[in-house]
Structure 1
Amino acid sequence: MKTTDFEYNLPEELIAQVPIYPRDSSRLMVVDKETEKIENKIFSDIIDYLDEGDLLVRNSTKVIPARLIGNKETGAVVEIFLLNRLDINRWECLVRPGKRVKIGQKIIFKDDSLTAKVIEIKEDGNRIVEFEYNGVFEEVLDNLGEMPLPPYIKEKLKDANRYQTVYAKKGESVAAPTAGLHFTDELLKKIKAKGIEIVDVFLEVGLGTFRPVKAENILEHNMHEEKFEIPIESANKINAAKKEGKRVIAVGTTSVRTLESAANNGKVMAGENSTKIFIYPGYKFKMVDALITNFHLPKSTLLMLVSAFSNRELMLRAYENAVDEKYRFFSFGDAMFIK
């Protein structure tokens, strides 16, 4: 299967640059994968497509302000983008401009409250950085860091909380589980009042989520790895829903990746693990019955995932419809419900 099979034309002006207010006033495309019917709605209408007894699974990871701007001792500006925490003080990072930052060099951040030293350069060019600071690292990061917006968003984010779901609880994600950005506290209360159960899983979203597939043959693509956790209470409720024949509805592709990675003989296994699962057409889903998602980049693993959940031709037709109807695309864009 070729990467070009998942290409579509997207006018640049349809890439959403700012979040919409209120969150649930974004648009919603409803796609029936059996009848192939496509409807154009508003996200708050999602409640009309959820039935009593359904189980909604959401990724309640928290996005950290992973982008840090500092200076070398010469005064040259350096950007450090946190990727993966290795221990209490060491992180794997992207460093820009990487070629000018050598092993042993010190980077100083505002007010000298945080310094960093490059202690290793990996084969892929990423740096292992050791931080020194006073107090609690998370508090220092909240004070100095910026939200790690995707590269296609050029506008500055006025409210950092808008790149965070209203139900974010814990974690060190460097990208938001964007399907969840459409939910408001009020909408979630209405969903619960209708008799729909909501459970949390946690997958730490990595930068690889933005990377297009560059291999001509998708089978040659090397997936990035992400840590996930399914609490025992969530696992029990998910397994009970599957046993009783109720729909398990994933909020976002990260929830899909978590559920499908933890699936074993018709159940999900509780606990912490990591996944490099690559879902593309031909994959047989084990846990997920319906999916709430955003509109994804051309030639991306996420477009391949939703194409596997429905079918490639239907997805490309839905995306063509979204372009014609001037939907907003990507992280701050509109949503799709595949049922």
Structure 2
Amino acid sequence: MSEGLPPDHERTFSPDDGGGEPAERLDRFMRRAAAAYYAGREPFGAGGDFITAPEMTQAFGEILGLWAAIAWEGMGRPGPVALVELGPGRGTLMADALRATAEMAPAFRAALRVHLVETSPRLRQAQADMLGTAVAGWHDDIATLPQGPAIILANEFIDALPIRQFVRRGGAWMERFVSAGAFEERPAQDAPPLPETAEEGAVQEVNETGRAIAAAIAARVAALGGAALFLDYGPEEGGFGDSLQAMTAQGSADPLGPAGTADITAHVDFAALADVARKAGAAVHGPVPQGVFLARLGLFSRAAILARMDPRRATAHLAAAQRLAAPEHMGRLFKAICFTHPGLPPLPGFEDP
């Protein structure tokens, strides 16, 4: 969930010598590390390991809340409607979205029911402290969300899901395992389809969990109505390369270090998400650069208003907007992609140029 560029680390691959801890497939190591990390640390905000968009400026959550209100209008104003956030952190984005909709789209605010998909008990408590009785329910996964139309928001969610890594060696694919803080390569088994024309040493990352979630959400909005918006970082088209990285308050960290000591992420393959969403029956919009998407939603106008309302923090409001949208910061590497019911009109931010 951290802002960053692809890592340039190069690891030494060594066979298992039979000593130390058993080797663990990379995705299983990442899943265990993430559970330990979010159970025991406060990662968000200026005092944490990274700062996500909602923590930079209230404008981010506000404009996403109003985007959801416009989506609801396009859906025919159903009531009730689930407003869902995946991986909601401390609840900052949702708090800002609810405040904006209460002021600017009161009918939508009255119709929505907040549902949060969060597995960490510590973060659930933080969300309860932030949002109080506004939350209708928490969920361990999307399978238990209430039936009916939904608008789903996910900011820096897919990047934190576990990935598998495969390396081309001698005309065959090997899979990376983690053993004693280093990679170990083993012949790939139960692997997803992988290109047979890859060059020697090529690395292919596959986020099976992310693809499964994207497919399930796309099938849901196609069948029950609604829209799902994902904002995350990675290339527009999938490809080869090692994007595994880790962040702490001190900066970059070893992603294969002790589990739970750093935030481990990898770039999102937007092309793969779009492919599974279309196959599940949803319309796919984007990906578009986050900077373009947020500018179309009025990020800079809102930041300017906040600067006038709060002169002491005017520079901070304007700088946060630049960090989110400028190409040299988060504006190009981060992308926005949306899955919708095929009958839903085009939504703001995804207009043809």
TM-score calculated relative to the size of structure 2: 0.24
Q: Normalising by the residue count of structure 1, what TM-score does the alignment of the two structures yield?
A: 0.25
Structure with the largest fraction of helix: 2
